[in-house]
Homo-oligomer: A and B are copies of this chain.
Amino acid sequence: MAQLSPLLAARWSPHAFNPIAELTDAEVASLLEAARWAPSHGNSQPWRFLLGRRDDEAYKRILTNVSPADQRWAGRASALLLAAHVTADAVGAPLTYAAYDLGQAVAHLTVQATSLRLHVRQTAAFDEAGLRADLDLPPEVHPHVVVAIGRLGDPYSLPEDLRVREVGLRQRRPVAELMLG
């Protein structure tokens, strides 16, 4: 198997977050700094974020709009980050790479999280209209994913169905299936 950087090899998306761990202000700052310096099409930087930390109002408003199934794990995370993008620049020109660029920014944030011994799991199962209303999002901002961030917790504290997934082997297609031509 090809050698991976330890920061990539160690990354995975857990369900079992430690339900009492908190992020330091320095950790939060470095996560956002990592996202900020991601590359983007024409340096358009279309990403926008809203961060909730456990027990604050933003966290509650994000979590309440996540699907009940995903609240079971997202509600244990130390922080919930709403990752969104704008789809037009300041003069109204469409930003057709906004979703792609947001993916790059969240990946950079995830690598930084790994370097801090934090873990990340994302979900797209949320009520967009509810999020828009509860967070008073401007119309040009499109919520894309909710990123749960925290420290690893006890997998045996999870509900049965999540525990089975938590301890299973991770699966990916072989590289040959990804290659064209």
Contacts and interface: CB of A to CB of B under 8 A. Distances in A.
Given A7-B111, A178-B36, A180-B135, A29 B51 contact: no
Contact of A108 (B3, B32, B107): B107
A78 interface: no
Contacts of A35: 178
A135 B123 CA distance: 35
Interface residues of A, number: 64
A122 B97 CA distance: 12
Contact of A8 (B48, B111, B144): B111
B100 A178 contact: no
A127 interface: no
Copy number in this complex? 2
B180 A50 contact: yes
Nearest to A45: B173
A162 interface: no
A8 B50 contact: no
Nearest to A179: B49
Interface in A127-181: 135-138, 141, 144-145, 170-173, 175, 178-181
B107 A32 contact: no
B36 A175 contact: yes
Contacts of A181: 50, 58, 135-136
A112 B50 contact: no
Interface string A99-137: 111111011101110010000001010000000000111
Contacts of A178: 32, 35-36, 45, 47-49
A34 to B, nearest CB: 5
Given A102-B103, A103-B104, A179 B51 contact: yes
B8 A100 contact: no
